[in-house]
Structure 1
Amino acid sequence: MADAAERRPLRARLFAGGELRGLRRRHGLGQAAMAERLGISVSYLSQLENDDRPVTRPVADALAGIFPLDWTEQADAAGTRQAAMREAMADPLFADLGPPDALHRAVEQQPDLADRFLRLHAAWRRAEERLQMADEAIGAGTARGGRLPWEEVRDWFHLAGNYVDSIDRAAEALAQELDAQPLGEGLIAHILKQRHGVDVLSSGDEAAAMRRFDRARGLLTLGRALPPETRRFALAHQLALLEFRDAIAAVAGAADLRTGEAKTLLSVGLANYAAGALLMPYARFRETARALRHDIDRLCQRFGVSFEQACHRLSTLQRPGARGIPFFFCRVDMAGNITKRHSATRLQFARFGGACPLWIVHEAVAIPDRILVQLAETPDGVRYVQMAKGLVKPSGSYARSPRRYAVALGCEADHAAEFIYADGLDTARAAAATPIGISCRLCPRPDCDQRAFPPSDRAIQVDPDVRDVVPYRVG
Structure 2
Amino acid sequence: MMTITKRRIFAGDRLRSLRKRGTLDQAAMAARLGISVSYLSQLENDDRPLTATILSAIGKAFPLERGQFELDVVTQRFAAVESAMGDPLFSEWAFAPDALARLAETQPLFAEAFVTLHSAYRHAEERLLSADDAMASGVPGADRLPWEEVRDWFHEAGNYIDPIDTAAEALSLPMGDGEADMIARLASLHGIHLIAAGDDTALRAYDRAGGTLAIDPALPPESRRFLLAHQLAAIELAAPIAAVADGADLQSDTARRLLSVGLANYAAGALLMPYARYRAAALDLRHDIDRLRRQFGVSFEQACHRLSTLQRPGARGIPFFFCRIDMAGNITKRHSATRLQFARFGGACPLWIVHEAVAIPDRILVQLAETPDGVRYVQMAKGLVKPSGSYARAPRRYAVALGCEIEHARDFIYADGLDVTSQTGATPIGISCRLCPRVDCDQRAFPPADRAILIDPDRRDVVPYQVI
Distance in structure 1 (CA, Å) of the matches to 2:85 and 2:451 = 28
Contact 1:152 1:257 in 2 (8 A): yes
Post-superposition Cα deviations, 1:176-220, rounded to whole Å, max 9, x if no partner, equal 233x4xx111111222222222212231x2121000111222222
C-alpha distance 313-462 of structure 1, shift in aligned 2 (>3 A): same
Q: 2:169 aligns with which of 168, 172, 187?
A: 172
Distance 1:244 1:207 in 2: 29
Looking at structure 2, the residues matched to 402 and 39 of structure 1 have their Cα atoms a distance apart, in angstroms, of 52
2:361 maps to a residue whose letter is P
Post-superposition Cα deviations, 1:204-240, rounded to whole Å, max 9, x if no partner, equal x212100011122222211111111001110111111
- Alignment match, 1:231: 224
Task: Report what 2:81 is aligned to.
Answer: 85
Structure 1 224/90 Cα, relative in aligned 2: closer, same or farther at 3 Å? Answer: same
- Residue in structure 1 matched with residue 63 of structure 2 by the alignment: 68
Using the TM superposition, give the Cα deviation of residue 471 of structure 1 relative to its aligned residue in structure 2, in angstroms: 0.9
Does structure 1 residue 469 correspond to structure 2 residue 465? no
CA contact (8 A) 1:198 1:218 kept: yes
Question: Quick one: distance in 2 between partners of 1:305 and 1:139?
Answer: 35
How far 1:9 sits from its partner (Å)? 5.4
5+ residue gaps in structure 1?
Answer: 1-6
Q: Which residue of 2 aligns with 1:408?
A: 401
Pick the aligned partner of 1:391 from 369, 384, 402: 384
The partner residue of 1:296 within 284, 289, 301 is 289
User: 8 Å contact 2:150–2:259 — kept in the other structure?
Assistant: yes
**Which amino acid in 2 is paired with 1:442?**
L
1:379 and 1:124, CA in 2 relative to 1: closer, same or farther beyond 3 A? closer
Aligned residue identity for 1:321? G
Q: How much is the aligned-residue C-alpha RMSD, in angstroms?
A: 2.0
Runs of at least 5 residues in structure 2 that lack an aligned partner in the other structure: none
Q: Return closer, same or farther for 1:221/1:94 CA change in 2, 3 Å cut-off.
A: same
Contact 1:134 1:144 survives alignment (8 Å)? no
State how 1:107-186 maps to structure 2 within 5 Å.
107-111=104-108, 114-115=111-112, 117-178=114-175, 180=176, 183-186=177-180
For residue 17 of structure 1, report the CA deviation from its aligned partner: 1.9
How many Å apart are 1:310 and its aligned residue?
Answer: 0.4
Q: How many residues align?
A: 465
* Aligned-residue offset at 1:28: 3.6
- Residues 225 and 396 in structure 1, CA contact (< 8 A), matched pair in contact too: yes
Do 1:16 and 1:55's aligned partners in 2 also have CA atoms closer than 8 Å?
A: yes
- Measure the CA separation in 1 of the matches of 2:102 and 2:323: 39
Aligned partners of 1:200 and 1:220 also within 8 Å: yes
Task: State the distance in 1 between where 2:126 and 2:145 align.
Answer: 18
Residue type matched to 2:185 in 1?
I
The residue number in structure 1 matching 2:191 is 197
Mapped pair 1:359 → 2:352: yes
C-alpha spacing 1:385/1:39, structure 2 compared with 1 (3 Å): closer
1:221 to 2:214 alignment: yes
Native 8 Å contact 1:73 1:322 kept in 2 = no
**Residue 305 of structure 2 corresponds to residue 305 of structure 1:** no
Which residue in the other structure is 1:3 paired with?
none
Is it true that 1:33 corresponds to 2:28 in the alignment? yes
Tell me the residue number matched to 1:44: 39
1:317·1:324 contact (CA, 8 Å) conserved in 2? yes
* Map of 1:4 onto structure 2: none
Q: Contact 1:11/1:108 (CA < 8 Å) preserved in 2?
A: no
Do 1:390 and 1:407's aligned partners in 2 also have CA atoms closer than 8 Å? yes
| Cα distance change on mapping 1:165 and 1:127 into 2, 3 Å | farther
Corresponding position of 1:57: 52
1:340-378 deviations in whole A, cap 9, x for unaligned? 001111111111111100000000001000000001111
Q: Are the equivalent residues in 2 in contact too, given 1:139–1:456 (CA < 8 A)?
A: no
Normalising by the residue count of structure 1, what TM-score does the alignment of the two structures yield?
0.93
Deviations 1:258-313 (A, max 9, x none): 12111111111111111111111111111110110000000001111000000000
Aligned mates of 2:315, 2:104 — CA distance in 1 = 22
CA drift at 1:67: 1.6
User: Could you say what secondary structure the match of 1:341 adopts?
Assistant: strand
Identity, % of aligned positions: 67
- Distance verdict in 2 for CA 1:403–1:36, change over 3 Å: closer
Deviations 1:71-102 (A, max 9, x none): 43343234443333322222233344561332
CA contact (8 A) 2:4 2:102 kept: no
Identify if the C-alpha distance between structure 1 residues 120 and 237 changes in structure 2 by more than 3 Å, giving closer, same or farther: farther
Instruction: Kindly indicate whether the alpha-carbon contact (under 8 Å) linking 1:8 and 1:57 is maintained by their aligned counterparts in 2.
Output: no
Distance 1:395 1:420 in 2: 32
**What amino acid maps onto 1:81 in structure 2?**
R
Contact kept in structure 2, 1:126 and 1:159, CA below 8 Å: no
Q: Partner of 1:263 in structure 2?
A: 256
Amino acid in structure 2 at the alignment position of 1:283: A
For residue 173 of structure 1, report the CA deviation from its aligned partner: 1.4
Per mean C-alpha deviation after superposition, the further-off stretch among 10-19 and 243-252 is 10-19
**Superposed displacement of residue 117, structure 1:** 4.2
Q: Secondary structure at 1:213's aligned position in 2?
A: strand
1:131 Cα deviation from its structure 2 partner? 3.2
| 1:129 to partner: Cα distance | 1.3
| Matched AA of 2:78 | Q
Partner of 2:277: 284
What secondary structure does 1:380 align onto?
coil
Residue pair 1:9, 1:54 contacting (<8 A) in 2 also: no
Q: TM-score, normalized by length of structure 2?
A: 0.94
Residue number in structure 2 paired with 1:373: 366
